[in-house]
Amino acid sequence: MKIALIDYGAGNLHSVDNCLRSLDLEPVLVSSPDQLEGCTHLILPGVGSFGDCMEQLSSRDLIEPIRDWVKDDRPYFGICLGYQILFDHSEESPGVQGLGVIPGKVRRFKQEPGLKIPHMGWNAAKPVRPAQEIWQGLGDEPYFYFVHSYFPQPVNPDVVAARTEYGTDDFAAAVQQGAVVACQFHPEKSQAAGIRLIRNFLNPQCNLFPSRR
């Protein structure tokens, strides 16, 4: 197993790197397409804005390689912006195209009385299909750490893997499509539950990918 950890100059690399090292794994920091050679898994963390993320990936010639990786059904784990950029576009950065590998858009939370934006802190992510192996050992309502003002809205509800409520919005906290697993929360900051989720994704004995059965 060789894990590519995408470095686009603004992600939460250190916390994800530390999380992987706690699992006795040493990722390869990838900032150019040639560094993906020989990698078996790709993790794209993200902090910042949708537009800045796409711009930084473009400046490193990584957009098409990442898009091709996902389209080829290779293991991809997206965190926060690494989740949002899978979609077509975001209200955060009008006119900026995402990877477009999962149809849908990224919306901002509705402004409501007493509702703080960004959504920040611990919240439950309720698995849509808790028996799926990606949720093994996490129970029916695991808690994860969130920090975000925007959330994806997939066109196809079948890709939604977990849902979370915040205010009157019930949003897709995670998706799974083939070998793609992506989440709005930060598993690397979610203690035991987050580490378990990443371990499940990377576990070669865990059948995560229905398209390969």
The backbone torsions φ and ψ at residue 125, rounded to the nearest 5 degrees and listed phi first, read: -115, 110
Whether 39 is catalytic is no
Number of neighbouring beta carbons within 10 Å of residue 98 = 25
Which of 80, 119, 148, 183 is labelled catalytic? 80
Which residues are CB-contacts of 134 (< 8 A; sequence separation ≥ 6)? 161, 176, 181, 197, 200, 201, 206, 208
In residues, how long is the chain? Answer: 213
Joined together, the tokens standing for residue 21 give: 């090292």
Q: Evaluate whether 103 touches 155 at the Cβ level (below 8 Å).
A: yes
Indicate if 148 belongs to the active site: no
Distances (CA, A) of 193 to 20, 33, 123, 183, 212: 14, 32, 12, 13, 26
**Active-site annotation holder among 53, 119, 148, 188:** 188
Active-site residue, 188 included: yes
> So which residues are the catalytic ones?
80, 186, 188
